[in-house]
Amino acid sequence: MAIAIILLIVGFVVLILGADWLVDGATSVGIRAKLSPLIIGLTIVAFGTSLPELIINIFSCAKGSSGLAIGNIVGSNIMNILLILGVASLIYPIDVSRISIRRDIPVGFLATLALFVFANFTGNGLTVSWIEGIVLLLCAAGYLFLTMKKNESPSTEVEAVQIPMPWWKTILFLVIGIIGLYVGGELVSNNAQIIAKAWGMSESMIGLTVVAMATSLPELITSIVAATKKNAGIAIGNVLGSNILNIFVVLGVSSLITPLQFDSKLNITLGILFFANALMLLFVFTGKGRKLSRFEGFLMLLAFSGFMIYTIMAQ
């Protein structure tokens, strides 16, 4: 057991480092393509910080442990909103663009609703099948197309975020990042299952807590760094984009490997995810301007604390 816990921690460290290197390399490519910070956050950075969830789910599903997959994503998305946006807005109030209010936040609601319907009412029930996975991936393609089509005034703001790296360094970061994600995903997948069985926890529960919290670390680190640099575009774009891609891409790809088993107890947690999205939208429209203030960030952290207390007591 001690060895499994150590290897799990090592796996998370390798995952986070791999994701960090891959995001740096991919962001460099995005800057060269003259994308705005919001677009970089919604696409390149969001996809990079969602890679730990994707890699862990792929390995787990390939080994027949699909119960981990949905719990991982639902828990990670709740943490992204309540914990990560809460912390980021405490550091620096986050302005929310009109396009995010009109497009990204509603798509986040729709993605959560699609998961709820697919898991409970379509197909064989309490599973997400490969057909539903294809629908999710098509939704991801449509969302990314609309996002890239609305790239807005990039130049000066992008240059303030980061100067692009030389091409050789960009490619090196991309390659090492991918290798790190592979190795870290293997370690986390294997040892999370060992620990879950030893502690008597269900796969969905360990996915909802331990794995979800660890795979949210890249989003947390990225949003904190963006907030300290007063770059609201990447801070909120990272969270909104990651949540959307977690459902559309990560669960879509996972369900192509094996049907994803859905624990009906997760319906309550899906309700909490709906509440987190609604709370974020409410806070955007309260106070001065379209922003998440420090006080609202504090309230989101309180809500996250309540979620963690509920999850532990439910277990």
| 289 DSSP 8-state letter | S
Q: What is the pTM of this model?
A: 0.77
Domains of the chain: 2-314 (1.20.1420.30)
Check if the beta carbon of residue 254 is closer than 8 Å to that of residue 58.
Answer: yes
**Per-residue pLDDT tens digits for 136-154:** 999 999 988 888 776 554 4
CB 88 within 8 A of CB 224: yes
Compute the average pLDDT of residues 242-246: 90
Amino acid (1-letter code) at residue 290: R
Q: What is the pLDDT of residues 63-120, one digit of tens each?
A: 777 777 888 899 889 999 999 999 989 988 888 878 778 888 999 999 999 999 999 9
Q: Are 180 and 18 in contact (CB under 8 A)?
A: yes
Mean pLDDT of 244-269: 90
Q: How many CA atoms lie within 13 A of 178 on its CB side?
A: 7
Single-letter amino acid code for the residue at 97? S
Query: Kind and range of the H or E element at 95?
Result: strand 94-95
- The DSSP annotation for 150-170 comes to T----HHHHHHH-PPPPHHHH
